[in-house]
Amino acid sequence: MAARVRQTVTRLADGRELIYFDDTEPFVSGAATRETRDRRVLPAVAATSELRRDPLTGEWVTFAAHRMDRTFLPAVAECPLCPSTPGAATEIPADDYDVVVFENRFPALGADSELPGTESSGADADGTDADGTDRLWSRRPAGGRCEVVAFTADHDAAFAELDAQRARTVVDVLAARTATLSALPGVRQVFCFENRGAEIGVTLQHPHGQIYAYPFLPPRTTTLVARAREHRARTGRSLQRDVLDAERRVGTRVVWSGTAWTAYVPAAARWPIEVHLAPHRDVPDLAALDETERDELAVLQRDMLGRVDRFFDGVDRVPYIAAWHQAPIGGDREHGRLFCQIFSVRRAADKLKYLAGSESAMGAWISDTTPERIAARLREVGT
Residue 228: the pLDDT is 98
- Domain at 6-214: CATH code: 3.30.428.10
User: Which contiguous run of DSSP H or E holds residue 257?
Assistant: strand 254-257
Residue 123: the pLDDT is 38
| Equal fold, 6-214 vs 220-380 | yes
SS3 150: strand
Per-residue pLDDT, averaged over 322-345, amounts to 97
Per-residue pLDDT, averaged over 231-250, amounts to 98
Q: What is the CATH topology of the domain spanning 220-380? A: HIT family, subunit A (3.30.428)
Per-residue pLDDT, averaged over 8-26, amounts to 96
Residue 121: the pLDDT is 37
C-alpha angle with apex 176: 175 to 178, nearest 5 degrees? Answer: 65
Domain boundaries, the chain: 6-214, 220-380
208 is catalytic: yes
Residue 197 predicted with pLDDT over 90 = yes
Residue 113: the pLDDT is 53
- The C-alpha atoms of residue 225 and residue 243 are separated, in whole angstroms, by 14
Residue in 66, 206, 208, 231 annotated catalytic: 208
Residue 112: the pLDDT is 59
Residue 119: the pLDDT is 44
Report residue 111's pLDDT band, with 50, 70 and 90 as the boundaries: low
Share of the chain above pLDDT 90, in %: 84
Mean pLDDT for all residues in the chain: 92
Report residue 73's pLDDT band, with 50, 70 and 90 as the boundaries: confident
Which has more pLDDT, 2 or 245? 245
For 118-150, write each residue's pLDDT tens digit.
Answer: 344 333 444 445 544 457 889 999 999 999 999
Share of the chain above pLDDT 70, in %: 93
Contact 151, 100 (CB under 8 A): no
Residue 383: the pLDDT is 78
Report residue 114's pLDDT band, with 50, 70 and 90 as the boundaries: low
Residue 115 predicted with pLDDT over 50 = no
213 pairs with which residues across the strands?
145, 190
- CB within 8 A of 272, min separation 6: which ones? 344, 345, 346, 347, 348, 353, 367, 368, 369, 374
Residue 220 predicted with pLDDT over 90 = yes
Give the count of alpha carbons within 13 A of 242, CB side only. Answer: 11
